[in-house]
Structure 1
């Protein structure tokens, strides 16, 4: 029987790469994102290989998250894999100069959004005693770095939620996996620096960073393990990176 995967933040970066790889392996897809045009374009592309259903919502909108997931057609309600990928960084400033709006955005998207989507999907997995939740964290959830303050706090929360989910859901046979990348070249830095292309490029200057495809391959590896194997927690670096702050630039 084919699996169904729900992926948040599916219109770009890691989410899009994961959707494309899942489609290659015949996993039907529920693609979630805020940008309807991108969702439609991706759905058209991937529907050549698998069945695709799209949900357009912002994970920060609790009522909309629950409404859309609860109102999925019957054929789409059995979600086998949840990829909690939606997340963003906003700003990079010391705690005394940071913008509260940026802080709130990161907590709302990275933490509360993940909780809303998980809470909407988990009951069906519990009922079936089956499922796999993939939470996309970050090395920032393992090691705090200067000026990372609220972003690191949000990713530490994801790390704690991942462990808490695994403890609570093991009794139902539900797998829970954390994927924690280091430097990945996506729209991440462009969003963090609010469109400053040069500043975003400097993040990856002098190294070969991870690509979204690299992370997607690790996600698929975790999902494709036998029933008795759960990849619990992965830290993924480019070769040039050794920690959140130690990077060999040439």
Structure 2
């Protein structure tokens, strides 16, 4: 049984990808990281012997730290943070336990460099509908919770990407875009190695809605209708993204936990007659 200040792989995997996910910090030594340069979803790298410099930014947050095996380094880092008033836990078994359980790991070389404020920056066309809301949701929930999204005129996406060192997505002739029958959301799930059953299911729904192939999933038509409704409700693209985050949170939790659940109005007993006087 883990200590009260440890979290198990199973417990952490249930909250990653949800709004309740903690801040996750990889404190492996460089040698261990170089041997397996992958991160838990949303994790950021930080030197274990400089963890105190992060304390102020972690105030009020739930924090999970992990090293290679969940032993001396993560135990020490956790203790330092807790002494400084941070609600910190260590991952039982560390990186090895997460890897050996077959949980998703993000290739570090696929994660864009962060700016001076510690955020990745992405740019796409203004007036998003489906892919351009779904992809930011995926990035904020599984890659970089602090990611910044710039919505600009279609003709200026690539120029803005160059000037502001941003990753362009869901436009032609860039890395993060449609490939063949796959939409940009599909590509991000694949390139970030996020091939879980729930995200694969959600990707099919997004693809069906984004490419007008509603036969791919019954939910695709509903996602299209919801997305078009949001685009009419919000003139500000960032406000629309904020609202859309809740929509994709709900679709993800359904795809992960509730696909076998139905909701039917109770039917009257066959042949039952109404009571007299009713």
TM-score computed with the length of structure 2 as normaliser: 0.30
* CA radius of gyration, larger in: 2
TM-score computed with the length of structure 1 as normaliser: 0.33
